Amino acid sequence: MATTMDAQMPQHDDLSLMGLQELDSHLSIFEPSHGRDSSTPGAMSNSAYGDSVSTVGTPSATNVLESSRKQWAKSNVPNNLFFDGKDMHSSSISRSVNPAELHIKSTLGGKVHLRPESARQSMASSMITDLDDASSSLSSISSKATSPTGFDNTSKGSRNSASMSSKRQQFDVRPKVSIPMDLAPVEYARQCIAAAESSRLNPYSLHAGEYALLRRHLTRQQVTTYLNIRNGILRLWTRNPLIGVMRDEAVGCAKDPRWFDVASICHEWLVRGGYINYGCLELRDLTAENKKQRGAKRMQKTVVIIGAGIAGLGCARQVEGLVAEFAGRFRAIGEDPPQVVVLEGRDRIGGRVYSRALNTRPSYPTLCYGSRHTAEMGGMIITGFDRGNPLNIVVRGQLALPYHALRSETTIYDATGKPVDNHRDLCAEQLFNYILDRVSEYKFKLSTPATAEGDKDLVDAGRESAVEGSRMLIEEEQSRQSTPNGTNPNVLQQDNAVQMVPVSSNRLTGRAHLEPGIHAVHTAAYKAREIGWLLRAGVGIENDLDLENAVRSKYATLGSVFDEAIRQYTRIVDFTPLDLRLINWHVANLEYSNAISYNKLSLGGWDLDAGNEWEGKHTMITGGYQQVPRGLLNCPRPLNVRRRSKVAKIVYDPNKAHVPSRIECEDGTVVEADYIISSIPLGVLKQDNIEFQPPLPGWKKGVIQRIGYGVLNKVVLVYNEPFWDETRDIFGTLRNPPDRFSLDQAHYFSQRGRFFQWFNCSKTTGLPTLLVLMAGDAAFQTENTSDEAIVAEATAVLKTVFGPLVPLPIESVVTRWGQDEFSKGSYSYTGPNFQPDDYEVMARPIGNLFFAGEHTCGTHPATVHGAYISGLRAASEVLETMLGPIKVPEPLVLLKDSLSKRKSEALQSPQNPKQARLEAYEIDVWNTIWLKLGDRPWKPENRYANPYRMYSKDMWEEAKRRCEEGRRPGKGKPIPNEVKKMVTKMWKDATEEEKKPYNERAEAQKVSHIAAVAEYNVDAAKWDREAAEIRTQYVAEHPFVSDPEGENLTRKQRKAKRVSGYAEDSASNMEV
């Protein structure tokens, strides 16, 4: 199926505010190089990795990807790591499997000390598909100069207690040490912005949590500086998540020592919130430290996590990470850092991520050594790594798992077995999307949390505001509150505000793809005609749907209103049974993503998570998704997971009154707990079989009822030989309703999700394998149908498509998630009585009882990544309960006077004199190089426009005029995004002759840019060569003096150097 240009465009949160200029830069993604220069070493490694992902599909490209991963995995991770955890003696592998540790050891000779920028750089290329690494070859030289001090694990003074003590912290760090010197400021800013976007944070504004923390301490003008520091810290993390970002390293992102406390607080907020330093990361080994604590026996609390699915394991890993990170604070309150215990009812880990071993083996090796041949019973697809998916860090950055990028091209086969004509399929899909768009007008209007924005232009340029302002954010907020805010989250949305509107559906996940716009601006008839449908005789473009009655019904659901829209459409266009089969295929796809028939979905909240989709290819892990929970279980050290511990009773303390809490298992085992985190699936909670003492309050029970929990099932079929089109990863099959000629939408309900979507899983299982989905009503039917009947029906469907010779499978697996005692269904959905904040209410703790799991993540429910995010959130909540909130020193941004005092204190007692000498020496080397050579040449900016961009500028007004045709009353003027889509359509429809002048202009600009880059490459290489020579000469003439006598001789001199390193003098203040 052809994909529209619109569908290919990445989603930008700020598109609603996009002016023409931003629009242009947004559209620059159509440029062939996407602003990357493959001639730079960083970009080269990118294309060797990222591009191979995007071109996956050709066998060779896949091989490149997999072999590079394989190599890493082979050399660093023993293959038995990812075998079934229950058969494995995890302790025996624990020391050898830790990638982070190996990395640190190999780069630092076993001593965790300096963290060269180059170490971070090494991972950046493997993880970030859309980010290039434009660091020059000089990075390795500059790395030392940019290496921060004070991140040694043992450097207690600089760790842990920034906000604990009333006395201000001293930082043995220089400003800017974590900012590479050899990057153009704009390029550095771009990397920081991309890092924030890869971390689910808006680079240009505060997260609600940051706002709450900082509103009393920062002015609006200071927000920009804060954001630059925060984005810089995120950049350090995303560049190499094998190494945690230490606090001193984060502090080095500040350009001015007055902002050190801010950077430190920001670091703590990012760590606690699970934005940095999460996943399979090496931790401080607390055992030795605990032993050192002599004297009276110290208290050690226990955090018990119920459930070893992604949420539970991710949470356990995070709690362990956080208590290690803040170990000093526990000791300061007389406790040892808490221990973590995970109780799991099954005899395996992973929960709904379950890669079941197949019995069939290929006759020759098809997967990389050590990979298993498995059927994905539950979670299977990673829905894009880019723009914030934390699994990017875990899967690609830390565990280095091989994966296959799915090709979204689909053939849909009709019930007769014939492929459906592409145009017809597209018409049906677009009509389906238009109806969804109409129904979306009745979605809940959600209130936006308070935040503060930085200055976008300054953030883009990596600069700070010249003025700092004097009114704190809270003061501004208070003055704004004099005008009442009437936002009611329960109000159904009826106005003209820019919303995220569905423009296409994802065939791999069933989720609608949204873009900023205004809901359904055109009449139903106009839209149908625009899509390509023939209007019935006598129907004019003013003909429209009237859904008000259907919406007002007490029992209105997404399905009831959608069905009504279809009924009314039959008066506008002539549907055939094929059209309805096609439209219902898309309905089935939507039901798949919700694990329920759309007749049970909330009208106001059915796509609550809309707009939070990741970007990038959808992928499947080769050898099984369960390697991810296994990685979380075992890397870097095995978690304390007790399998076959089915929890029957939870005694908790709802008032945090320190009443002893405990968990009782079905086998009689009792586990004492100070904090309990339940990741028990919603389906199990709904059964009400687990006793809570005291009983859960009414508000919690209410939400457990209101959020729905549906069923999706799968059938996995293994064959000797593939008989399907191996160049495709998915195909669809249309099903007839019981009366195959019916034009009644209601008749399509029972059959549309039966064997409707097929995945070719041969690449990830290593065997010729098909996996077919049973969605909507069909998922429930599967629960009560025998395997034989299901396999026979699947074979019959395949025979209609591929001919009578289709054999029976040699192995098959049918899931029945509804009957699974530890899940009781597949995943959550928004039920008919759903209220907008139900997921937050579901997540809300009760005393010392906390909640995690996909059903507690309103931004990404029903997914593996949502489950993981919920685990990070719950860990953060438990830490806050244990240690209290982050303490912010006042004033947070130091005044100039206090700075001088702090500086002189720091100078009097440098924490690491040798380190300080090394850095002073390094600065001397750099000063000498700069004095002789000046700045390294900047890489020319990629200024050439693409032809489409130039066309869009010229045709903007015409597109706007066309958008105004066929508009529904009250829909106002077209917004830029509508116009943009119209321009895109016009460009697609334009003839080669019309495109020619734009292509020629673009080509000329491209040629001149290439020439400029070539010139830059020569100049930069010359500069690097000469810089290296000057360095060698300098080192020969002024060898580094490391002995204390040397220090005595030059103390005065060195003191001067330290001052120059700290001060905002012209020499140290590199223009950024």
Ligand X SMILES: Cc1cc2nc3c(=O)[nH]c(=O)nc-3n(C[C@H](O)[C@H](O)[C@H](O)COP(=O)(O)OP(=O)(O)OC[C@H]3O[C@@H](n4cnc5c(N)ncnc54)[C@H](O)[C@@H]3O)c2cc1C
Contact footprint for ligand X (CB under 6 A) = 306-312, 343-346, 351-353, 378-381, 646-647, 679-681, 684, 690, 712, 714, 815, 817, 822-823, 826-827, 853-854, 862-865, 867
Q: Minimum distance between the CB of residue 343 and ligand X, rounded to whole angstroms?
A: 5
Task: Identify which of residues 149 and 815 has a Cβ nearer to ligand X in the complex.
Answer: 815
Structural tokens at position 859: 């931004």
Question: What's the burial of 434, exposed, middle or buried (CB within 10 Å: 0-12/13-18/19+)?
Answer: buried
How far, in Å, CA of 763 to CA of 66, rounded?
A: 11
Question: In the bound complex, what is the minimum distance in angstroms from residue 809's beta carbon to ligand X?
Answer: 19
- Which amino acid belongs to residue 1053? Q
Question: DSSP per residue over 375-428, as a string?
Answer: EE-S---B--SBSS-HHIIIIIIIS---EEEPP--EEEE-TTSPBPPHHHHHHH
The half-sphere exposure of 604 on its side-chain side, counting CA atoms within 13 A, is 19
Q: How far is the CB of 409 from ligand X (least distance, A)?
A: 19
Is 199 or 506 the residue whose CB approaches ligand X more closely?
506
Least separation, in Å, of the C-beta of 822 and ligand X?
3
CB of 380 to ligand X, least distance (A): 4
Nearer of residues 237 and 614 to ligand X, judged by Cβ: 614
DSSP letter string over 909-970?
S-S-HHHHHHHHHHHHHHHHHHHHH-SPPPPPP--PPPHHHHHHHHHHHHHHHHHTTTBPTT
Structure tokens at 648: 């029957």
Cα 44 to Cα 137: distance, rounded to the nearest angstrom: 12
Find tokens 């978690």 and name the residue.
639
Give the separation between CA 973 and CA 980, rounded to whole angstroms. Answer: 14
Shortest Å, Cβ 153 to ligand X: 31
Residue with tokens 């990017």: 392
Q: Which of 938-964 are b and which e, b meaning 16 or more Cβ less than 10 Å from the residue's Cβ?
A: ebbebebbbbbbbbbeebbeebbebbe
* Residue the block writes with tokens 């998915």: 730
The DSSP H or E segment spanning 555 is none
Lookup: tokens for 320: 């362990």
CB 815 to ligand X: min, Å:
6
Structure tokens at 490: 């329960």
The span from the CA of 262 to the CA of 869, in Å, is 25
Q: In whole angstroms, how close is the CB of 3 to ligand X at the nearest point?
A: 20
Q: Which is nearer to ligand X, 279 or 309 (CB)?
A: 309
By C-beta, is 411 or 679 nearer to ligand X?
679
Nearest CB to ligand X, comparing residues 195 and 341: 341
Nearer to ligand X, 625 or 948 (CB): 625
Is there a contact between 236 and 484 (Cβ–Cβ < 8 Å)? no
Tell the smallest beta-carbon distance from residue 673 to ligand X (Å). Answer: 13
Helix 992-1037 with 913-933: angle, nearest 10 deg = 120
- Closest to ligand X by CB, 735 vs 865, is 865
Q: Residue written as tokens 């032809």?
A: 947
Beta bridge pairs of residue 517? 499
As measured in angstroms, the least distance from the Cβ of 789 to ligand X is 20
Q: Fill in the amino acid letter for 932.
A: K
| Residue placing its CB nearer to ligand X in the complex, 223 or 773 | 773
| Shortest Cβ 194–ligand X spacing (Å) | 23
Q: Which residues pair with 760 in a beta bridge?
A: 770
Q: Answer whether 465's CB lies under 8 Å from 479's CB.
A: no
**Which of 189, 651 has the CB closer to ligand X?**
651
Minimal distance, residue 273 CB to ligand X, in Å:
19
Shorter beta-carbon distance to ligand X: residue 250 or 380:
380
For residue 729, how far is the Cα from the chain centroid? 23
CB of 692 to ligand X, least distance (A): 12
Is residue 363 classed as helix, strand or coil in its secondary structure? Answer: coil
Contacts of 158 by beta carbon, 8 Å cutoff, 6+ apart: 150, 151, 169, 170, 171, 172, 173, 247, 248, 911
Beta bridge partners of 405: 619
Nearest to 193 by CA among 414, 390, 459, 572: 459
Distance of CA 87 to the CA centre of its chain: 32
Question: Measured from the CB atom, is 501 or 690 closer to ligand X?
Answer: 690
Please identify which residue in the block is written with the tokens 């829209």: 565
Contact criterion met (CB below 8 Å) for 1013 and 39: yes
DSSP conformational letter for 79: G
**Residue nearer to ligand X on the CB measure, 310 or 975:** 310
For the CB of residue 853, give the shortest distance to ligand X in the complex, in Å. 3
Q: State the minimum distance, in angstroms, from the CB of residue 705 to ligand X.
A: 18
Residues in the chain, overall count: 1072
Residues 6+ apart with CB under 8 A from 677: 303, 304, 305, 306, 312, 315, 319, 850, 851, 852, 874, 875, 878
152 vs 158: CA distance, rounded Å: 9
Which of residues 268 and 854 has its CB atom nearest to ligand X in the complex? 854
Establish whether the linkage from the previous residue to 636 is cis, with ω within 30° of 0.
yes
- In the complex with ligand X, the residue whose CB is nearer, 627 or 946, is 627
Nearest distance in Å: CB 308, ligand X: 5
CB of 12: closest distance to ligand X in angstroms?
23
- By C-beta, is 687 or 727 nearer to ligand X? 687
When computed from its CA atoms, the radius of gyration of the chain, rounded to whole angstroms, is: 30
Closest CA to 364 of 352, 373, 356, 355: 373
Minimum Å gap between C-beta 432 and ligand X is: 21
Q: Residue 768 is encoded by which pair of tokens?
A: 């010729």
